[in-house]
Structure 1
């Protein structure tokens, strides 16, 4: 996405929706109008997934985490357009999740079409690597779910091995989501694109 020099100024002008400067670190609940269960999406894409979920589930507070300020503009625009009071956005590096959240504060984590980082030397950057799983385990409440979708077979296989080695319990595995698509599935913009190219979509739901 093309760089927008005005991106940070725009995001800061919408500080009621976007936390650019870690203002709500360790106090994310105060960022919302209501005290409700918290679900987070690590890597929002253009925001279709999180805004659709928020519309469907007004009784849940959703936190979208994105490191790219230019992408975050698109998500912010969607939240504003839909007038969603149960979505808040963090311009945040996923490596710093536990610096931001408290332990046992989150009820669910979503990982949708994360960067596969295909080179072996970059494995630690994958969002299902054990170092990230360790963070999710700390911030999630007991028996909470990590939900993961990808079109990348290599990342899917890596994630299965990583989650299994970490001792997670697989609640659901789907090797071709669109073959018999669950009605609760929300197609992200990347999911639509990859599916149209003939890619299978893989889905994992696992708990600690």
Structure 2
């Protein structure tokens, strides 16, 4: 279900430049000094990032979201977090915001599976996106994928392998034996209540 357009959403973002930089391209290559940099693509209302930032205060987190109505809720949620910033932008423009090798980890949490074949190029695990991630990931960087869509999961594994990534820590039912370190997103909580399976994998580039 699509979120309705939120009146005043852009104002919410503009009023919080310390959380949502107005010109994030100016931060390219300078998001952190020594801290690891983790980026969530399609951050939604920001529950996952807020919980991660609280759990891992020594890591810098960035949430990227193109829908201002959704991102405005995340911006309000992050007011108490000093290690999270948000980018109002499109994943296709990642290289405008991050320098080569600057990102240590990318999270793809329940991104739109775009199930129709004609929409394949919009999937965030389409080869063009996977090649884009290679440009911003550090040599030991990785991608953490979670989804409730088995077809999208299978597709993503194939694309990771075909694009030169290695795979590890695959699971076809994350909540059956949920690891303590797992942090749930808003969608994940809803899926857990419905007892839907969650598929998860980690992809990384060989050294």
2:84 maps to which residue? 87
2:98 is aligned, of 98, 101, 111, to: 101
Q: Distance in 1 between matches of 2:128 and 2:9?
A: 30
1:19 positional shift? 2.4
Confirm whether residue 146 of structure 1 aligns to residue 148 of structure 2.
no
Equivalent runs, 1:104-123 vs 2, <5 Å:
104-123=101-120
Confirm whether residue 206 of structure 1 aligns to residue 203 of structure 2.
yes
User: Which stretch has the larger CA shift, 64-73 or 192-201?
Assistant: 192-201
TM score, norm. by length of structure 1: 0.93
- Which contiguous aligned blocks of 4+ residues in structure 1 show a shift greater than 6 angstroms? none
Residues 63-85 of structure 1: CA distance to partner in whole angstroms, max 9, x if unpaired? 000011011111111111xx211
Equivalent runs, 1:52-91 vs 2, <5 Å:
52-80=51-79, 83-91=80-88
User: Which stretch has the larger CA shift, 169-178 or 187-196?
Assistant: 187-196
Equivalent runs, 1:129-144 vs 2, <5 Å:
129-144=126-141
1:207 positional shift? 0.3
1:7 positional shift? 1.1
Q: Distance in 2 between matches of 1:181 and 1:166?
A: 29
Give the length in aligned residue pairs. Answer: 203
Confirm whether residue 182 of structure 1 aligns to residue 184 of structure 2.
no
Q: 2:24 is paired with a residue of what secondary structure?
A: coil
1:36 positional shift? 1.5
Q: Distance in 1 between matches of 2:155 and 2:53?
A: 30
Q: Distance in 1 between matches of 2:148 and 2:30?
A: 31
1:99–1:23 CA distance, 2 compared to 1 (3 A):
closer
Structure 2 unaligned segments of length 5 or more: list them. Answer: none
Q: 2:146 is paired with a residue of what secondary structure?
A: strand
1:25 positional shift? 4.5
Q: 1:24 is paired with a residue of what secondary structure?
A: helix
Q: Distance in 1 between matches of 2:25 and 2:166?
A: 35
- Indicate conservation of the 8 Å contact 2:20/2:87, yes or no: yes
1:3 maps to which residue? 5
Q: 1:178 is paired with a residue of what secondary structure?
A: helix
Q: Distance in 1 between matches of 2:46 and 2:174?
A: 20
Structure 1 unaligned segments of length 5 or more: list them. Answer: none
- Indicate conservation of the 8 Å contact 1:25/1:99, yes or no: no
